[in-house]
Chains A and B, each alone.
Chain A
Amino acid sequence: MDLSAINPILLVAALMSAATPILLAATGELVVERAGVLNLGVEGMMIIGAICGFAIAVETGSPTIGFVAAAVGGALLSLLFAFLTQITLANQVASGLALTLFGLGLSALLGQGYVGIKPPRMPDINFGPLADIPVLGPILFSHDPILYVGLLIVAVVWAVLKFTRVGLVLRAVGENHDAAHALGYKVVRIRTLAIMFGGACAGMGGAYISLIRVPQWTEGMTAGVGWIALALVVFASWKPWRVLLGAYLFGGITQLQLNLQGAGVAIPVEYLAMSPYVITIVVLVILSADKSAAPGSLGRTFHASS
């Protein structure tokens, strides 16, 4: 065993990158669920984002346009979910599951011509002298722009939900849609916008995998990240900063267990492989002991006549 082989600075830098797809998707889903909608289609929207982002980045040569396309693709797919659940009042759980299956299939079809191609690289932001600061430089100032966008989205979502009128209305819709409707708020419209925001975030999360972390396109490459993001929202008690904590914890332990294996630690590999899931759940369950409840109208169908 040689723990000195593990460089903690590089480990932290790697975990931030590994956690970003989960973070983006989970933050989007948090907004959706705060508006009272349960969208189980995160995995489907992520993989659609992954292929849309990849394809457009390859065609245009610009990863930035790729990420925009990924957000648009994810939002478009989520519109299908919004139509099913908000207009035709279909069951949210079933529609969400269908959305995932549909997304996985459609992405495989769209991706036929993009297997084995290298996408254009998104360069890291150049912070100049800041990147040379010992310890902090490599951790904070050596990443691609999307990672910072992810952090920014978490901060903005937190601030909007907590301090603004928009956030208050969104939460009201999620807590009690009948009361919000009685006050004159457009429940369906607000929820549709929230669903689209969730789709756009999930799409960007997917594109982060296909354009930055891997970077290549292969079928089913999100490999269950969407489900982890969904679980994370619940365990984080629908609070943005806890989502960030959970995502970094999960990404961090995933990276750490690979590093521990490489360093030859005498823990059986099976335990290392399950550790990210176990530890993330345990920590977030302990944190949620303050009885934060789910949004009151979560998963319930709304119609103005009811």
Chain B
Amino acid sequence: MKLTTLFASAALALGLASGAWADGHEKTKVGFVYVGPVGDGGWTFTHDQGRLAVEEEFGDAVETVFVENVAEGPDAERVMTQMALDGADLIFTTSFGYMDATNNVAAKFPDIKFEHATGYKRLHPNVSTYSARFYEGRAVQGHIAGSITESNIIGYIASFPIPEVIRGINSAYIHAKKANPDVEFKIIWVYTWFDPAKEADAATALIEQGADVILQHTDSTAPHAAAQEAGNVAAFGQASDMSAYAPYPRVSAILDLWGPYYVERTRAVIDGTWESVDTWNGIGDGMVGIGEITDAVPAEVKAEALALKASLADGSYHAFTGPLNKQDGSAWLGEGESADDGTLAGMNFYVEGITGDIPQ
């Protein structure tokens, strides 16, 4: 039909046009899709820092665009399609829940490169996935938390029951337990990445139940405010430094450092060397950082934490090293054995000692 021809030629023209951009006749356009507001002070903020690093590195050679507060689901697909139609050459989609949307849109725009954060589906040759080994940071965090707790109760604000979050809980628990055999984790699932009121309520509930250290896998600083209000409760920055609450209640932080990766991938697109890859970098590669450990932490604990960080960075120690059992008591890792990436990527069980069930 006429209409189909029209669409086909429009698509062809678009394909030619984006080809021309990729040849360097025009600026390389890099798009970012964010799940929260740029000003969340956490997850999305760190991705935006990465975007700014790209701008700084390439100056006028690139143009970056971003859309914030994009809901996971159909909305995300619409935003990505729009970005692709607007001539983006490379699109970073920065939340786990964008996984299917990213692959769907990638199928429609084979000339545009897609990079999906924290996912595992690469259904098309123009999709890469990348993530950071946050569980290495959680190990350091768990060690500090286990060492400084006096009530032996650590509260954990968890977001969604996905492998990423479960890995974090396990890693933190294992190392807290090593530092303090009496430690107990109380876990609350809030089913949101970012809802300050809900996070504050969860933190308050945990504190009222005796927790004196709060770990969070949500992105706002609301739990820090709750910890400060309660006094005598420590918290850790999530994704960004959250240094407004240092030196106490914020005693350290896990930092997401996306800048180097974004610069590298943008350069690959400019040079035409981009390939679909699965990147999973940790402390050693500089994708995960540990925020300054403040003086509220005893000096010897700080030294131990830094030693742990160093051993994780140079690869001499793996955060999941046996002997470790699963929650039901069945053996998982033998003495000295460390977990393989496949198991970690799909982790859906607690390690022995954690109480409660993972919501299904």
Which residues does A use to contact B, with CB under 8 Å?
5-7, 10-11, 14, 18, 115-116, 118, 209, 213-216, 218-221, 223, 225, 254-255, 258-259, 261-264, 266, 268-270, 273
**Cβ of B173 to closest chain A Cβ, rounded Å:** 14
A262 and B200 within 8 A (CB): no
Q: A219 to chain B: which residues have CB within 8 Å?
A: 37, 39, 69
Cβ of B244 within 8 Å of any chain A Cβ, yes or no, is: yes
A-B CB contacts (within 8 Å), total count? 93
**Cβ of B134 to closest chain A Cβ, rounded Å:** 22
Q: A14, A218, A220: which contacts B204 (Cβ < 8 A)?
A: A14
Q: A14 to chain B: which residues have CB within 8 Å?
A: 201, 204-205, 208
Q: A255 to chain B: which residues have CB within 8 Å?
A: 201, 205
Q: A273 to chain B: which residues have CB within 8 Å?
A: 191
Q: B357 to chain A: which residues have CB within 8 Å?
A: 266, 268
Q: A216 to chain B: which residues have CB within 8 Å?
A: 196, 220-222, 225
B205 and A214 within 8 A (CB): no
Q: What separation, in Å, do the CA atoms of A146 and B222 have in the docked complex?
A: 20
Q: What separation, in Å, do the CA atoms of A142 and B189 have in the docked complex?
A: 28
Q: A223 to chain B: which residues have CB within 8 Å?
A: 195, 197-198
A259 and B205 within 8 A (CB): yes
Which secondary structure dominates chain B's binding surface?
Answer: mixed
B221 and A254 within 8 A (CB): no
Q: What separation, in Å, do the CA atoms of A213 and B197 have in the docked complex?
A: 7
Q: B198 to chain A: which residues have CB within 8 Å?
A: 223
Cβ of B355 within 8 Å of any chain A Cβ, yes or no, is: yes
Q: A209 to chain B: which residues have CB within 8 Å?
A: 197
B187 and A218 within 8 A (CB): no
Q: What separation, in Å, do the CA atoms of A220 and B197 have in the docked complex?
A: 11
Q: B360 to chain A: which residues have CB within 8 Å?
A: 268
Offer 14 A-B interface pairs, CB within 8 angstroms, sorted by A.
Answer: A5-B186, A11-B208, A18-B201, A115-B41, A118-B225, A118-B244, A213-B197, A218-B40, A221-B196, A223-B197, A225-B197, A262-B186, A262-B211, A266-B357
Q: What separation, in Å, do the CA atoms of A255 and B204 have in the docked complex?
A: 9
Task: Give the one of A7, A218, A264, A268 with max B CB within 10 A.
Answer: A218
Q: Which 5 pairs from chain A and chain B are nearest by CB? A: A115-B39, A258-B205, A269-B359, A262-B186, A5-B209
Cβ of B202 within 8 Å of any chain A Cβ, yes or no, is: yes
Cβ of B210 within 8 Å of any chain A Cβ, yes or no, is: yes
Q: B187, B194, B201, B356: which contacts A254 (Cβ < 8 A)?
A: B201
**A5 (CB) vs chain B CBs: closest residue:** B209
**B207 (CB) vs chain A CBs: closest residue:** A10
Q: What separation, in Å, do the CA atoms of A148 and B223 have in the docked complex?
A: 25
Task: Give the one of A115, A221, A258, A268 with max B CB within 10 A.
Answer: A258
B220 and A258 within 8 A (CB): no
**Cβ of A249 to closest chain B Cβ, rounded Å:** 16
Q: What separation, in Å, do the CA atoms of A220 and B360 have in the docked complex?
A: 28
A262 and B206 within 8 A (CB): yes
**B68 (CB) vs chain A CBs: closest residue:** A219
Q: What separation, in Å, do the CA atoms of A273 and B161 have in the docked complex?
A: 14
Q: B204 to chain A: which residues have CB within 8 Å?
A: 14
A216-B221, A218-B39, A221-B197 given; A262·B209 CB < 8 A = yes
